[in-house]
Chain A
């Protein structure tokens, strides 16, 4: 009960935190998409490049978020605040996005590509008209993971000065304000679950029609 009244009493700054949280998620996801989708397409062209890039992505993904944030704030060009937060989120998004684009493109039936090439389609057309549409469900799955992960990691950016919902937890921890901690934790979880559910709904729509048909 007291959690709800805490929420009601502080709705003004909580919604400011929420807005900051969303804007961080949104910016990070947009930058990640713009950066990693083309990289994913690029590495699908060369096995060697793919191995190298996916190796790097994987290694970066393994770094615990608190550690990564800490490294970044020590770099003068980034420091405390949004720049470091964004960079960390974009680095984490590399793994699910690049990997899924690469895999999505790679699992497209080789024979379909061979036939298309044999008919005179150029690589750009094959990418646009065959590989991307057929890889879309896998790419979208990577996007969905990215959004959920970004929501969670963005909260941790409160440690490096981001004023978002994560701050309810860090500040709440300092003064051991249980209502504040619970409000923050609940809101972050709810947002992540909500975003995942919405995207899950879209994921089904994005499967090309011809693939949704099952024989029998």
Chain B
């Protein structure tokens, strides 16, 4: 647990402090993203947690203990630190770079070697071919990975990451973020993560702390912040697509409804009746193996249904044959598909089987709801 209590930092010669009276709590196993425009004091805040900078006033506590009670080098050895520029030692191999902190702890050689290989595997680099390379022989993305691996070498419970994926192209960044989230879901480290990219904050943070000119303007979960921005600054910082961003926090499975019914091709003429009986708003056409082939909505049938022959009904139902998503699809992507296919409903699949339906109205309701009810 990291606690910042009333932290202020004023650099020599500065009129306005870089960080003003900041209070922040990061719970164990939680990742807190510090986000804000350039110069708002994110890096300063982060570097006060491992004493690379001493605050002008205030206290930083780790697990309830004032960090000033620990020798700075000792303190830092126990906290993973990743920076945007990575800072790999250019004259040391990948393995030697990863071994830095284990060596400070005096681990035996074979233990270090084992751990190095384990970490290289973990971050998706082949130990055989990468171990003896020098940083100059790596791509930007590979260097970032090595930087992260190096910070995790002794498995520290706390990681401080200052724009760790800032130096790579967007595609590589996305990939690194996904991989890191996958690791974090297992490791459950306490993480302080700095970025100036709100999308990265939303993606990476359990909690987001928005800073503006050295002050904390809002602290909360991504959903809280996107649902209730504290002020105009936060609104502007999030951008006009605030609601669409919110849709990327929720997966289709969690808002899908169960009031749908399944119909076979032979049942098409009786679809309206079946749906009425089952009080379903939508029915999905499935083939003999249960594979979805299309859909019909109650509203649509009510308006036009009786006028069509079974063959025409099948053709119409088939128009929705692409309208199926997996339950872990983000609502943002679901919305995009609804718009693209011009449908009112999407079928939600769990693997091969239909498990629910999501409507345009459901998404609208989620988007406008406060606090994600």
- Residues of chain A whose beta carbon lies under 8 Å from any beta carbon of chain B: 109, 111-122, 125, 129-130, 133-134, 208-211, 213-215
- A133–B100 CB distance below 8 A: no
- Contact partner, B91, options A111, A117, A211, A215, Cβ 8 Å: A211
Q: Which residues of A contact B93 (CB under 8 A)?
A: 210
Q: Which residues of A contact B147 (CB under 8 A)?
A: 115
Q: Is B89 an interface residue (CB 8 A)?
A: yes
- A109-B87, A210-B90, A211-B91 known; A118 vs B137 contact (CB < 8 Å): no
Given contacts A117-B76, A118-B76, A119-B101, 17 further A-B contacts (CB under 8 A): A109-B90, A112-B89, A114-B83, A115-B86, A115-B87, A118-B50, A118-B81, A119-B77, A119-B100, A119-B150, A120-B73, A120-B74, A120-B77, A208-B91, A209-B91, A210-B135, A215-B136
Q: Is B282 an interface residue (CB 8 A)?
A: no
- A117–B52 CB distance below 8 A: yes
Q: Which residues of B contact A134 (CB under 8 A)?
A: 90-91
- A122–B73 CB distance below 8 A: yes
- A120–B137 CB distance below 8 A: no
A129 to B86, CA, bound (A): 18
Q: Is B104 an interface residue (CB 8 A)?
A: yes
Q: Which residues of A contact B134 (CB under 8 A)?
A: 209-210, 213
Q: Which residues of A contact B266 (CB under 8 A)?
A: none
What are 23 A-B interface contacts by the 8 Å CB criterion?
A: A109-B85, A109-B87, A111-B85, A111-B87, A112-B88, A112-B89, A113-B87, A115-B147, A116-B89, A116-B100, A117-B52, A119-B76, A119-B81, A119-B150, A120-B75, A120-B76, A120-B77, A121-B100, A129-B89, A130-B89, A210-B134, A210-B136, A214-B136
Q: Which residues of A contact B137 (CB under 8 A)?
A: 213, 215
Nearest-neighbor residue (CB-CB) of A208 within chain B: B91
- Size class of the B contact interface (CB-based, 8 Å): 20 to 34
- B86–A120 CB distance below 8 A: no
- Residues of chain B whose beta carbon lies under 8 Å from any beta carbon of chain A: 50, 52, 73-78, 81, 83, 85-93, 100-101, 104, 134-137, 147, 150-151, 160
- A118-B52, A119-B101 known; A211 vs B90 contact (CB < 8 Å): yes
CB B313 to nearest CB in A, in angstroms, measures 63
Main secondary structure of the interface of A (DSSP, over half): helix
A129 to B91, CA, bound (A): 10
A215 to B134, CA, bound (A): 11
CB B70 to nearest CB in A, in angstroms, measures 11
- Contact partner, B52, options A114, A122, A130, A214, Cβ 8 Å: A114
A116 to B97, CA, bound (A): 10
Q: Which residues of A contact B76 (CB under 8 A)?
A: 117-120
- B92–A121 CB distance below 8 A: no
- B90–A112 CB distance below 8 A: yes
A47 to B136, CA, bound (A): 30
- B86–A111 CB distance below 8 A: yes
A145 to B68, CA, bound (A): 47
A120 to B134, CA, bound (A): 22
Most buried by B among A121, A133, A214: A121
- B104–A120 CB distance below 8 A: yes
- A119–B90 CB distance below 8 A: no
Q: Which residues of A contact B104 (CB under 8 A)?
A: 119-121, 125
Q: Which residues of A contact B77 (CB under 8 A)?
A: 119-120
- A120-B76, A121-B104, A210-B92 known; A115 vs B135 contact (CB < 8 Å): no
